[in-house]
Structure 1
Amino acid sequence: MIVTEDLVKRYGKVTAVDGVSLDVREGDRYGLLGPNGSGKTTLVRMLLALAYATSGSITVLGKPVPRRAHEVLAEIGAMVEAPAAYPHLSGRSNLMLFDAAGPGGSRRTRRARVGEALERVGLGGIDRRPVKAYSLGMRQRLGLAAALLRSPRLLILDEPTNGLDPRGIREIRDLMTELNEAGTTVFLSSHLLAEVEQFCTRVGVMDRGRLVLQDQLSSLRAPTGLVSVTTPASEQVTSLLDGRVVSVSDGVVLVRHDDPAELNALLVSKDIPVTSFGPSLRTLEDVVLEATSSSSDRVDSS
């Protein structure tokens, strides 16, 4: 669905994207992660022919971009950065204009498609208020509605849940899951680890313009070799397993033990209550921190 080879984008002396070879397959739920300034948005803009590469190649839906972008845009739904809109018009009016200006939209079904898209993102009861009066979360929902107007084969989203509350994030995640199960490939760029971990099946990690990691999420979250014991009696477990406990946090005890069955039998024999028990897996946070540099946005006093 998306293939890039040695993709480079320079702005003067600054290299925003540096030799990225991306591979997004049909049916993927692909999450592109990386710290702020890592090149994620620049990469997304090049996929949509909103910015031109300095070197390298891009293929989307089997066709080269930007040379044949006009042939694939009708099959792509996209939202990049802050959703664009005429602030003095209502959300519904904006979508009507957006649909009229885009490729492949039927005038006969326009009103129905706009109404359906608004319903799907939770804006079915939208009134005539101008977009300038919308909250950030409403603007994000409107941007998603614009991306869904033509039942896209490929959905490309940059920070799709920005500004949404926890319930809104879950609703959008459920919607993306529904679309993916119906055949839409979803590619999303995000800095929210939890969002990607709960939705995506494949992950790419960018750092300083480079794609430093790309794999199935299940492969990245390999077992750590430790056993995770969730218990309300963590102090008792720590005392019993003196020297084998690696860490204790919020009732979760990580234990170094060669035989999980033997460990479980020991806990049962001591009448220690256990609410969950199993191998400890690497978190996506662990994976990203290991793959990226130690740079951050923080500024310390001298």
Structure 2
Amino acid sequence: MIATDGLTKRFGRVTAVDSVDLRIPEGVRFGLLGPNGSGKTTLVRMLLGLVHPTSGAMEVLGRSMPRHAAWVLPQIGALVESPAAWGHLSGRANLRLLDAAGPGGLGRLRRDRRARVEQALERVGLAGIDRRPVRAYSLGMRQRLGIAAALLRAPRLLLLDEPTNGLDPRGIHEMRALFTELNDAGTTVVLSSHLLSEVEALCTRVGVMDAGRLVLSQDLDALRAPTGRVLLRTPDPATAVAVLDGRVERRSGDVLTVRHDDPAALNAQLVANGVRVSALEAQRRSLEQVMLELTGAGADRVDRGRGTPGAGAPAGEVRR
């Protein structure tokens, strides 16, 4: 679905994306993670042909980009940075204009356009909007409208940059359910975000960027493999410590962290020795731990001697 080889983008002396080799297979829900300034947005913009690479190559939907943009882009739904809209027009009017102006839009029947617009609005929870201009919308409504615009053409691929920006918890839950539904129906979903919880709850595969480089690309289940430790809750913690003979690494009240790679065998051992077990769970690495291990400080952090965020970038260009 997406393949890049040595993809690089420089803005003057600043390397925003540095020799990225990325593979995203068809049918996945892929989360692109990284601190602010890691190059995520620049990478997404290159995949859409909005920014041309300094070097390297990329294919989207099996075609070279940006050479075959006219064939590729009509099959992609995208939301990059803040949703764009004509503020003096209503949401419906905006979507109708976007649909008509997009690739192949002039050849579509107006009746079909109206149906597509209404379906997109309904899917994102805006079916009941009135004729208010978009400038009167809340931030969350604007975000929903941007997602609706990405869905107008029943895309094979969704490229979404921070898609839940401005949404409340219920809105985030609704969009997560929508993206999962679309993926189940065959749409590949690529989501760029710095929110670990969003990616962990939605995605099946994860890529991590840091300082312009792709430092990890792996299935989420494999990434969160068991650590070889088990979290044990018991009303008999002292007895459990004695029975386990040095395997307990940490005790906090009635919760013990036990060095053991087989929770079932551990449970059998405890029960055989008369230790009551309230709960038993294999400990897994969290996505937060992985990120902290792989990435440095984001571009929004300013330490002594480091200078200002994005220092060295040309005017108007801060690596994202």
Q: Distance in 1 between matches of 2:206 and 2:198?
A: 12
Unaligned runs of 5+ in 1: none
In the TM superposition, residue 199 of structure 1 has moved relative to its aligned partner by 1.1
Partner of 1:107: 109
Q: Is the counterpart of residue 163 in structure 1 residue 163 in structure 2? A: no
Q: Distance in 2 between matches of 1:159 and 1:250?
A: 40
Partner of 1:84: 84
Partner of 2:312: none
Partner of 1:215: 218
Give secondary structure in 1 for the equivalent of 2:143.
helix
Cα displacement string for residues 242-282 of structure 1 (whole angstroms, at most 9, x for unaligned residues): 7544446798642223653453245545564514x232111
Q: Report the CA distance shift for 1:248/1:202 in structure 2 as closer, same or farther (over 3 A).
A: farther
What is the identity, as a one-letter code, of the residue corresponding to 1:123?
A: L
Give secondary structure in 1 for the equivalent of 2:67.
coil
Cα displacement string for residues 58-101 of structure 1 (whole angstroms, at most 9, x for unaligned residues): 11111111111111111000000000001111111110111110
Q: Is the counterpart of residue 172 in structure 1 residue 157 in structure 2? A: no
Give secondary structure in 2 for the equivalent of 1:78.
strand
Q: Distance in 2 between matches of 1:289 and 1:186?
A: 25
Q: 1:281-292 residue pairs with structure 2 within 5 A?
A: 281-292=284-295
Give secondary structure in 2 for the equivalent of 1:170.
helix
Q: Is the 2:234–2:275 Cα contact (8 Å) retained in structure 1? A: no
Q: Distance in 2 between matches of 1:258 and 1:58?
A: 42
Q: Distance in 2 between matches of 1:165 and 1:289?
A: 26
Q: Distance in 2 between matches of 1:254 and 1:30?
A: 32
Q: Distance in 1 between matches of 2:27 and 2:302?
A: 41
Partner of 1:14: 14
Q: Is the 1:32–1:206 Cα contact (8 Å) retained in structure 2? A: yes
Q: Is the 1:156–1:187 Cα contact (8 Å) retained in structure 2? A: yes
Among all aligned residue pairs of Structure 1 and Structure 2, give the percentage whose two residues are the same amino acid.
Answer: 65
Q: Distance in 2 between matches of 1:84 and 1:199?
A: 25
What is the identity, as a one-letter code, of the residue corresponding to 1:138?
A: M
Q: 1:39-118 residue pairs with structure 2 within 5 A?
A: 39-105=39-105, 106-108=108-110, 109-118=112-121
Q: Report the CA distance shift for 1:181/1:301 in structure 2 as closer, same or farther (over 3 A).
A: same
Q: Is the 2:4–2:22 Cα contact (8 Å) retained in structure 1? A: yes
In the TM superposition, residue 290 of structure 1 has moved relative to its aligned partner by 1.4
Q: Distance in 1 between matches of 2:267 and 2:146?
A: 50
Q: 1:262-301 residue pairs with structure 2 within 5 A?
A: 262-265=265-268, 267-268=270-271, 270=274, 272-275=276-279, 277-294=280-297, 297-299=300-302
Give secondary structure in 2 for the equivalent of 1:21.
strand
- TM-score scaled to structure 1, two decimals? 0.91
Q: Distance in 1 between matches of 2:81 and 2:259?
A: 44
Q: Distance in 2 between matches of 1:248 and 1:160?
A: 40
Partner of 2:202: 199
Q: 1:108-187 residue pairs with structure 2 within 5 A?
A: 108=110, 109-187=112-190
Q: Report the CA distance shift for 1:220/1:250 in structure 2 as closer, same or farther (over 3 A).
A: farther
Q: Is the 1:237–1:272 Cα contact (8 Å) retained in structure 2? A: no
What is the identity, as a one-letter code, of the residue corresponding to 1:171?
A: E
Q: Distance in 2 between matches of 1:100 and 1:237?
A: 68
Q: Is the 2:204–2:220 Cα contact (8 Å) retained in structure 1? A: yes
Partner of 2:315: none
Give secondary structure in 2 for the equivalent of 1:22.
strand
In the TM superposition, residue 113 of structure 1 has moved relative to its aligned partner by 0.4
What is the identity, as a one-letter code, of the residue corresponding to 2:11?
A: Y
Q: Relative CO higher for 1 or 2, CA cutoff 8 Å, sep ≥ 6?
A: 2
In the TM superposition, residue 104 of structure 1 has moved relative to its aligned partner by 2.8
